């Protein structure tokens, strides 16, 4: 299977291939970044794409895995994050122009856990401003449903839903208080999991 086709595979399948050293995390990351570059100008799934950081992390993951230091099923897997989760050194807008220059000096707990697991951050996903669902206009461009760009992709984790459905990342971390993750998943033909309250730290 050529690398460009692997972007359509599941996390579970990709993890098996990476663990067996049958595919390169670097090549996989490059394939996703190429796809983002080619398609996201229309789909608007991302606010910030972290190309250089993603490739550096992918090279580090590949080196570790080749040396036998496999961390687990997220090691070398390219993912995306809704742009409300703090990411150290990477701007976090919460979908608002008010936070256009906000660059956190710490990671959200969930981001730290993902980094420890060896996941590769491709970028930060578009979202309704301050996660207020129901808004049709987004300050960083309104995301488009990849199956029909005249239809909405749901709110407020809209960019995350679009990115997963369009294979612009393997999986995404969104957020769901009252359907903010599940509604975009349903609108975009994918699956969202809302964990039990308190299961995942909100810090």
Burial class of residue 195 in the structure, from the number of CB atoms within 10 Å of its CB (0-12 exposed, 13-18 middle, 19+ buried): exposed
147's enclosing H/E stretch is none
pLDDT digits (tens, 9 = 90+) for 65-122: 999 999 999 999 999 999 999 999 999 999 999 999 999 999 999 999 999 999 999 9
Contact status, residue 77 vs residue 168, Cβ threshold 8 Å: no
pLDDT digits (tens, 9 = 90+) for 27-65: 999 999 999 999 999 999 999 999 999 999 999 999 999
Whether this model's pTM surpasses 0.85: yes
Give me the active site residues, please: 82, 156, 180
pLDDT digits (tens, 9 = 90+) for 115-165: 999 999 999 999 999 998 777 789 999 999 999 999 999 989 999 999 999
């Amino acid at each position: 299977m050529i690398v460009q086709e692997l972007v359509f595979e599941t996390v579970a399948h990709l993890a098996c291939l990476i663990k067996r050293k049958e595919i390169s995390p670097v090549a996989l990351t490059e394939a996703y970044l190429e796809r983002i570059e080619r398609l996201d100008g229309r789909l608007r799934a991302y606010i910030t794409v972290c190309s250089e950081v993603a490739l550096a992390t992918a090279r580090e993951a590949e080196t570790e895995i080749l040396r036998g230091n496999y961390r687990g099923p997220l090691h070398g897997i390219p993912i995306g994050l809704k742009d409300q989760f703090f990411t150290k050194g990477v701007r976090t807008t919460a979908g608002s122009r008010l936070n256009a220059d906000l660059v956190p000096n710490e990671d959200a707990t969930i981001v730290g856990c993902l980094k420890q697991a060896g996941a590769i951050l491709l970028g930060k996903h578009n979202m309704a401003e301050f996660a207020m669902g129901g808004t049709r206009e987004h300050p960083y461009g309104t995301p488009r449903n990849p199956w029909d760009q005249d239809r909405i992709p749901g709110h407020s984790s809209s960019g995350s839903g679009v990115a997963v459905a369009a294979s612009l990342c393997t999986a995404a971390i969104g957020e769901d208080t009252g359907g903010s993750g599940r509604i975009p998943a349903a609108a975009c033909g994918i699956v969202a999991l809302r964990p039990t309250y308190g299961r995942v730290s909100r810090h």
